[in-house]
Amino acid sequence: MAAAHKHKMILALFTLNLCYQICLSSKPNFIIMLMDDMGWGDLGVFGDPNKETPNLDTMAAQGMLFPDFYSANPLCSPSRAALMSGRLPIRNGFYTTNAHARNAYTPQVIMGGIPDEEILLPEILKKAGYRNKIIGKWHLGQQPQYHPLKHGFDEWFGAPNCHFGPYNNKKTPNIPVYRNAEMIGRYYQDFVIDRKTGESNLTQIYIQEALTFIESQVTDKTPFFLYWAVDATHGPVYASKQFLGKSRRGLYGDAVSELDYGVGKILNKLIQLGVDKNTFVFFSSDNGAATYDKGHGGSNGPFLCGKETTFEGGMREPSIAWWPGRILPGQVSHQLGSLMDLYTTLASLSGQQIPTDRVVDGVDLSKVLFGNYEINRPLFYYRGNELMAVRLGQYKAHFWTWTNSIEEFKRGTDFCPGQIIENVTTHNQVNQTAQPLLFHLGRDPGEKYIIKPGSSEYKENIGPILTAVEDHKKNLIPGEPQLNWCDDAVMNWSPPGCEKLNQCYTAPPSKPTKCVWNH
């Protein structure tokens, strides 16, 4: 009996090992679902009282929830550049030195973009035989040399810039929408978002693009990387007709519901095609909810402030990992994670090396995903060229505090509506370096209670953070800043393919000026 049992055990282990070998031999597919301005608190599983995300809640129940996962920056372009490059914006150049600690991004007047020297995630995966597609917003530069197909992607459906203007104003070109290397139309004139009703079928198009891509890759038996960078929750928020007016939360909730529906459609497609057990899916968002949107934006749950700030509301993201059969269901990981980790993790899972000639900030989360291991590592909160704060374990230290200028605030831009914490939500840039503000995020996720500098808790926990900062700064070689110069001439006047649509416009003469970044 005992011998038979032992025999069975060995057989089981052998089979498991065999399966493991086979699994490894077939490279896993990857899907990164990156939301735009969606907040930590926008998902039912993260506490939205309206509980309108059944598909994401199910995804979490079947996978691993990350309540302590962060973007690399509180603003879209730098956050996305960091995700693609595995490196902080201060290294990859997605920042400005025009003024101190300013958020900068890539409106269509920007001259810069992702430098060729950066080795992007799709470039690494291409070497491993992957076919890479981006659907949605790129945001790493609108000039052709910066486009996705020049940086490792094989396919693109989407736009280089945001859809928040120009709104068909005739003076400046509407943002083009690309299929691969050529534009196929422009926002508002061809791809409509009704700014009165919020109606647009863009999310449905993005869902269908994803399903078609997945189907074709499965048919081709080619491993794929899909970067699903949808933007319905970025203002102007939109949803298609069948979702409009359905949410308890108004238009913003309609948009969330439609994206949730899309997540369900994509995961079900993987299951239906039988590739779910060979596909790693990660859901997250590019930065915190736009709390300044006067109640029409998303929710950052119990966290302080939102987008544009280095408080928790600005950078903590609703994150879920899903891989049936590899990631055990119903897990919660308190790993301090960063979107940059996806770079290193996906490279590792595809069997590729990450660059060794530069600092890569992302860490490989494989052990976390498959073994619920916890890696001790600091997280750096940058705003432009300044290291504003650092988290290590449960402690977070602010070296600089700033919401926005009192002038901007008085003009009605409030990054922290309803929230005022003395000496914390400051309206001038306060250098706290001499005595960093320390918070314990476990018992105080809202960063309300400054730990007394004289206390033993402060003394015990500030030291390791200061050491982490020292180590970080020692190895820091800032990249050439890409977001300093603006020029009307580089706008999307005549994108590739414009001639086929009769949508080529004449650019004005080049007149580079330093971009003005208010925040």
**Interaction site with its own copies (CB under 8 A):** 41, 44, 46-51, 61, 65, 67-68, 247-250, 252-253, 294-296, 299, 301-302, 304, 332, 334, 394, 417-421, 440-446, 448-449
CA pseudo-torsion sign 367, 369, 370, 371: positive
Is 296 in the active site? Answer: no
Residue 64 vs 124, nearer CB to its own copies = 64
Residue 185's alpha-carbon distances to 190, 266, 411, 491, in angstroms, are: 5, 26, 35, 15
Query: How far apart, in whole angstroms, are the C-alpha atoms of residue 441 and residue 302?
Result: 11
Residue 89 vs 318, nearer CB to its own copies = 318
Selecting among 5, 7, 23, 76, the annotated active-site residue is: 76
CB of 442 to its own copies, least distance (A): 4
CB of 411 to its own copies, least distance (A): 16
Say which residue the tokens 């949107």 belong to.
293
CB of 361 to its own copies, least distance (A): 23
Residue-by-residue DSSP string for 452-510: PTTSHHHHHHHHHHHHHHHHHHHT--PPPPSSSEE-GGGSSSS-TTHHHHT---PPPPP
CA pseudo-torsion sign 415, 418, 421, 422: positive
Is the backbone of residue 292 left (phi > 0), alpha (psi -120 to 50) or beta? Answer: alpha
Residue type, 208: Q
CB of 255 to its own copies, least distance (A): 12
Compute the chain's Rg from CA coordinates: 23
CB of 509 to its own copies, least distance (A): 45
Contact 318, 285 (CB under 8 A): yes
Query: How many residues belong to the chain?
Result: 519
Selecting among 7, 19, 139, 440, the annotated active-site residue is: 139
| Phi, psi dihedrals of residue 77, rounded to the nearest 5° | -60, -50
Residue 357 vs 422, nearer CB to its own copies = 422
Contact 53, 243 (CB under 8 A): no
Cβ count near 489 (within 10 Å) = 14
- Give me 303's structure tokens: 């966290």
Query: How far apart, in whole angstroms, are the C-alpha atoms of residue 404 and residue 292?
Result: 11
Is 76 in the active site? Answer: yes
Contact 340, 121 (CB under 8 A): no
For residue 282, give the H/E element and its range: strand 279-285
CA angle at residue 285 from 282 to 288, to 5 degrees? 150
Residue 211 vs 315, nearer CB to its own copies = 315
The answer, yes or no, to whether the previous bond of 122 is cis (omega within 30 of 0) is no
User: How do strand 176-179 and strand 386-392 relate by DSSP bridges?
Assistant: unpaired
Query: How far apart, in whole angstroms, are the C-alpha atoms of residue 23 and residue 435?
Result: 51
Residue 257 vs 279, nearer CB to its own copies = 257
Residue 95 vs 381, nearer CB to its own copies = 381
Residue 91 vs 249, nearer CB to its own copies = 249
CB of 401 to its own copies, least distance (A): 14
Residue 331 vs 352, nearer CB to its own copies = 331
CB of 204 to its own copies, least distance (A): 23
Residue 255 vs 390, nearer CB to its own copies = 255
- Give me 212's structure tokens: 């078609």
- Give me 174's structure tokens: 């509407």
Residue 160 vs 253, nearer CB to its own copies = 253
- Give me 345's structure tokens: 């993790």
CB of 196 to its own copies, least distance (A): 15
CB of 224 to its own copies, least distance (A): 32
Closest alpha carbon to 258 in 52, 462, 39: 52
Contact 376, 343 (CB under 8 A): no
CB of 141 to its own copies, least distance (A): 35
Say which residue the tokens 């590729």 belong to.
352
- Give me 247's structure tokens: 């949410």
Catalytic machinery residues? 76, 139
